[in-house]
Structure 1
Amino acid sequence: MTDTNTDVLTLRANVQDYPQTKALKDGRVSSEIVKLDFCGPEKAHNGFKPMLRENAFDCGELAIVTYLQAKAYGKPWVILPAPVSGRFQHHCAGYNRELGHVAPKDIEGKKVGVRTYAQTTGLWVRGVLQHEYGVDLNKVTWMTGGDGHLLEYTDPDNCVRLPKGSDIGQMMLDGELTATLQGVDLPKDPRVERLIPDPFNAAKEWFAREGVVPINHMFVVHEDLSKNRPDVVRELYRMIGETRDLTEGGLPDPFPPMGLEANRKGLQLAIDWAYEQKIIPARMSVDSLFDETTGALG
């Protein structure tokens, strides 16, 4: 955090290039009291460890699961009720159809790959598999490519770390893994079949019933900023909202909304599923994710 002059505060920000952040990053949305130095890596998730372990940034996007862990382990960050990204995740698990049909329940007793166990995509897909398709997640061996973002966190006992450099997509195609949870990283290969049947319609039906778009990344600030400069935090919230409104072609429909109450159900679901999946050590309340400043936004 640096004051470039007496009026404007410059903050180091970790924000990726998306249609819904473009107006913020190209300067169309700006402020007279705060300036953002977009010094994060090209892929925001590569900045999560430096953010939490080294205080490399003052603000930016953070995966909801990573934030829940940060809160659980007492890290000095606070969330704004401002989702930066979110989407349905039903389509994010795949298997090789040429090796035989795999139904969701068939992954019990098998090896399933995921980049990291605490990855947000993994949380949402596993939650859907458990609650919609009756999968016992404890009976699956989760083969992981890396560790979580928090030093204090350890994967559950039914996780196995793969050798560094392992390609879980290729391992799934080769039959070494029964399925993978990979999102956009699923291999672009005609043999890949989605694990959840008719996933896009399944997601629509789920949304009609639950009214939740799974949150991926939320905007966070260091707690010192929220305590000492609530005016700047309110300004950041305004800027994010305006930037979302300027998304070319509009935000995907549906998309996680702005505001605490509008996101309460989605945040509660993330908390419940993270606890069930042993990603956080205890349940927490939605309100505890916010402080006096950020809880009053929107």
Structure 2
Amino acid sequence: MAVRLRTLLGDHKCTAALKSGAIKSDIVAFDFVDYSPTNKGFKPMVRDGAFDVSEMAIVTYLMAKSFDKPMVLLPHVVLARFQHSYALYNAKQGNLKPADLNGRRVGIRSFTTTTGAWLRGILANDYGVDLNSIDWVTFEDAHVAEFKDLTKRAPAGKNIVQMLLDGELDAVIGEKSNQAGLKPLFSDAEKEEKAWFAKHGIVPINHMVVVSQKLASTNPQIVREVFRLLKESAAVAQNASPQFTPDEMRRSLQLIIQCSVQQGLVPRAYAVDELFDDLTPTLI
């Protein structure tokens, strides 16, 4: 009889075959839970161990690791993308450029989002922005309850894009919008992304997959089967999120670790090998 696993996976091209049942296993069955957006499920996974298998934002995982949360990271990416297009400003501010953000009011859903960490790294390291000078306004707690968030919280009931439109924020990161009056912070995001890729040679990782420590410890064969199914589902997808070679994954992880340390999200720079456990070499 197949082992049934309570599973959180978003609707990505690389997960479609698995979620539709087109790819099956004799020893594993998935009970998919529905969270929309998927990131709403990260908090119950981190705080309560709600799932056996879960998509997970990489910065949330790094933070969870720093507090010894019982999760095991699998070397599998389900979402990766360039980040420059996820930043907006209010055109009433004039022509605002990334380097103009010093001292401004900038909104972000949560200070600990992975897109936010990537973008702050880009702003600090490629545009010389002093992140500590920014008046950060947030709307949600961190997924990891133990993290001490020192940012300013938006008033209850406020919407991040509406606050930007109303002039209560100068810019936001981690958001896209076609609202009149809003402009992209990076005026030619595609050009900026190409230049960033030419410099770093990586695609920023957003989401990977974790399993519970209990599952990894008690049934490694099942974890190996989960990993095989994830890879098979990604292999049949058309135009799926990039499937990383081990070296590409390592370099992307190294950079987001550096950004996370720089921004005070984790206490130290983990070596990439520390992110995985002894099961990992048997997966690849």
Q: TM-score, normalised by structure 1?
A: 0.91
Instruction: Provide the rounded CA distance (Å) in 2 between the counterparts of 1:40 and 1:295.
Output: 31
Query: Which structure 1 residue ranges, 5 or more long, are not aligned?
Result: none
The answer to whether residue 273 in structure 2 is matched with residue 297 in structure 1 is: no
| Percent of residue pairs identical | 42
8 Å CA contact 1:260, 1:297 repeated in 2: no
Matching of residues 1-298 of structure 1 within 5 Å: 5=1, 8-155=2-149, 157=150, 159-183=151-175, 186-247=176-237, 249-252=238-241, 255-257=242-244, 260-298=246-284
SS in 2 for 1:78: strand
Superposed CA deviations along residues 250-275 of structure 1, whole A, max 9, x for unmatched, are 225xx251x54330011111111011
Residue range with higher mean Cα deviation, 37-46 or 65-74: 37-46
**Cα distance, 1:148 vs structure 2:** 0.2
The 1:260/1:233 distance shift into structure 2, 3 A limit, reads farther
Equivalent residues, number: 284
Matched to 1:132, the amino acid is D
CA distance, structure 2, for counterparts of residue 14 and residue 42 of structure 1: 11
Q: Is the 8 A contact 1:80 1:295 kept in 2?
A: no
The Cα RMSD (Å) is 1.4
The answer for unaligned runs of 5 or more in structure 2 is: none
> Is residue 14–residue 240 contact of structure 2 (8 Å, CA) maintained in 1?
yes
C-alpha distance in structure 2 between counterparts of 1:9 and 1:287, whole Å: 29
Q: Residue type of the partner of 2:114?
A: T
Moved more, 219-228 or 142-151: 219-228
Amino acid at match of 2:163: M
Structure 1 pair 122–256 and aligned structure 2 pair: CA distance change class (3 A): farther
Q: Aligned equivalents of 1:216 and 1:264: distance in 2?
A: 14
